[in-house]
Amino acid sequence: MLPLSLAACQGVDQGKPEQVGTVEQAYGEPQNGFPSWYERMIHVLVNRARADPPTALAACPNCADAPCFPSPLDPMEWDYDHARAARFHATNLTDSSCGMMHDSPCPLVATIGSIYPSPCSGVVSCACQGGTASCSGGTSTWDRLAAFGIGSGLRAENIAGIGDPFSIFYVWFWESTSNPTCSWTSQNGHRHNILGAYTRIGVGGDGSYTVQDFSNLGAVTEQIPAGAHYPQTGTSLEMRANFFDSAAPQDGVVNIDGTCYPLAVERGSASNGTYRYDASVS
């Protein structure tokens, strides 16, 4: 990932004394390697779609349930435990060679929520009881999420392969259905999860799989719930930031190597939307 950041261009507030001996990690800063650029970009695309579902679904070749989503939805915030649960499952599935499944490919060790990602990286030898995976009879999706602290409320999970973040996102979001029903079905379930009544998300991409884990544990409080640039490297980058508040921001800029550039609404509204700036960098 390029060393670019989304930031305000203003002076530092000198009114508060510095606290000595405390470390505060701001929302959005990587935590123990979570999220990756790939995971962050998919989160941005989720909130971009939620800010304006009709526009996001307008080009879908066969989304008969699109009229079920006529209005903007609040964004989802990133959560560390959701991110750990998601990436763990991607790693565990890949290492097991059991194929795509929501349940774990083995009964997980009882301490998996505390030993992942270190000292256990999620591979079968340390994550599965007995160090083997039988590809059946494993820990259920819900018990696995509970092991990572996501044990109540509304919960859901999406799984796909791995690749370009836009391509993987639209595998879920534009899945084909001729059924216009406004409820979750096996044909439209991934889309309904992305546009569901959830407030928290973790995206995990590793090995052969991409996993999204959702819940409604907590209200949305962050004004910038996600931001990323696309592609990961290069000289022409699309800079995006999701914004959510009761009113539009006074100003929106992206700070690239100390210089600020204006962001404009790409999708949604000024108070609930995705802002974008196309940058040329050297």
Which residues constitute the domain of residue 267?
228-280
Q: Quick one: pLDDT at residue 198?
A: 99
Number of domains in the chain: 2
Does a structural domain hold residue 122?
A: yes
Q: Which is higher by pLDDT, 5 or 179?
A: 179
User: Same domain for 62 and 181?
Assistant: yes
pLDDT in tens, 226-239: 999 999 999 999 99
Average pLDDT, the chain: 93
CATH number of the domain to which 176 belongs:
3.40.33.10
User: Same domain for 82 and 162?
Assistant: yes
User: Same domain for 193 and 107?
Assistant: yes
ω into 35 cis (within 30 of 0): yes
Q: Quick one: pLDDT at residue 282?
A: 84
pLDDT in tens, 6-52: 443 443 333 444 444 445 578 989 999 999 999 999 999 999 999 99
In 44-53, which positions are buried (b, 16+ CB within 10 angstroms) versus exposed (e)?
bbbbbbbbbb
User: Same domain for 137 and 248?
Assistant: no
User: 235 Cβ partners below 8 Å, 6+ apart?
Assistant: 280, 281, 282
User: Same domain for 90 and 192?
Assistant: yes
User: 71 Cβ partners below 8 Å, 6+ apart?
Assistant: 53
Does a structural domain hold residue 61?
A: yes
User: 116 Cβ partners below 8 Å, 6+ apart?
Assistant: 84, 88, 122, 127
User: Same domain for 96 and 165?
Assistant: yes
CA distance 173 to 42: 11
Does a structural domain hold residue 10?
A: no
Q: Quick one: pLDDT at residue 25?
A: 73
User: Same domain for 57 and 164?
Assistant: yes
Does a structural domain hold residue 91?
A: yes
Which helix (H) or strand (E) segment is 142 a member of?
A: helix 141-147
pLDDT in tens, 94-150: 999 999 999 999 999 999 999 999 999 999 999 999 999 999 999 999 999 999 999
Query: Is the pLDDT assigned to residue 207 strictly greater than 90?
Result: yes
User: Same domain for 53 and 147?
Assistant: yes
pLDDT in tens, 187-196: 999 999 999 9
pLDDT band per the 50, 70, 90 thresholds, residue 256: very high
CA distance 122 to 84: 10
Which helix (H) or strand (E) segment is 39 a member of?
A: helix 37-51
CA distance 146 to 140: 10
Does a structural domain hold residue 259?
A: yes
In 99-116, which positions are buried (b, 16+ CB within 10 angstroms) versus exposed (e)?
eeebbbbbebbeebbeeb
Does a structural domain hold residue 261?
A: yes
